[in-house]
A and B are shown apart, each in its own frame.
Chain A
Amino acid sequence: MPPPTSDPIQARLEQLLRDYGARVRRLLQSHGLDQRGIDPADVEQEVRIRLWRAIERDRSAAFHASYIQRVVATTVVDALRRAEVRAAEPLPDEDSEASPLPDAAAGPDRQASDSERMDDLARCLDSIPERRRLPITLHLQGFSLQEIADSVGVSAEAARKLVSRGMDELKSRLRECGHGEFDE
Chain B
Amino acid sequence: MKKKILSLLLMTVLTATMFMGCGTKNQSSEQSTSQDTTSQDTGDEQASQETAHIVMTYLTAGNTPADLLKVQDAVNEITKEKINVEVEFKAISIPETFSQYSLWITSGEQIDLMMNAFQGVSNYVNSASLEPLDLLITENAPTISKLMEEYPITDGTVVNDEIYGISPVLYNYGAQGSLLIQKDVLDEIGVTVKDQYQLNDFTEIFAAIKEKHPDMYPYGIIGTDVSAATAYGYFGIADTLGATANSGVLMGTDSTKIVNLYETEDYYNYLKTVREWYEAGYIMPDAATTDSLKTELLSTGVICSFPMLNKPEMIPDSETQYGKEFVALVTTDNYYTSLSPNSGTYWTIPITSKNPDAAMKFLNLMYEDSDLANLIHWGIEGTHYVKTDTEKLITFPEGVTADTSGYYNTLGLYGDRRYEYTWSDATSEEANETFTQKSMSNKSKAVGYSYNSENMTNQLIAINSVMSQYLPSLETGSVDLDSVYPEFISALKNAGIEDVIADNQAQFDLWLEKQ
Say whether A and B bind each other. no
